[in-house]
Amino acid sequence: VVTQGKSTECGTALNVLDKLYDAGRGDVTAEELASTARRMATQGKSAECGTALNVLDKLYDAGRGRVTAEELATAARRVVTQGKSAECGTALNVLDKLYDAGAGGVTAEE
């Protein structure tokens, strides 16, 4: 589904991979999970982008999957401009964290 599905199905697949990764099952690596989340962050609909942002944020905090502050900020910005209110709240938290850390090029004006 991740490689062949439509964006809605890929969002479901991302949730499944995330669950397996958290449980240490299914040989899901941080890199594979990050790659799937990156795809959803750039191609998915707003709800899927919110899920992808949560996954990227988790991997960033854990220092896994080679997620950079810049990449995380970009995903959060996309959710802010396209997402629904619940996802925008998550995106705001991410941008606030990056701003406090002086990372991701997040400005006070933004």
According to the model, what pLDDT value does residue 58 have? 98
Predicted local distance difference test score (pLDDT) of residue 67 = 98
CB-side neighbour CA atoms (13 Å) of 108: 0
Q: Output the pTM of the full model.
A: 0.93
For residue range 36-76, what is the model confidence (pLDDT) as tens digits?
999 888 887 777 888 999 999 999 999 999 999 999 999 99
Mean pLDDT across the chain, nearest whole number?
92
Residue 101 has a pLDDT of 98
- Please report which confidence band the pLDDT of residue 10 belongs to, taking 50, 70 and 90 as the band edges: confident
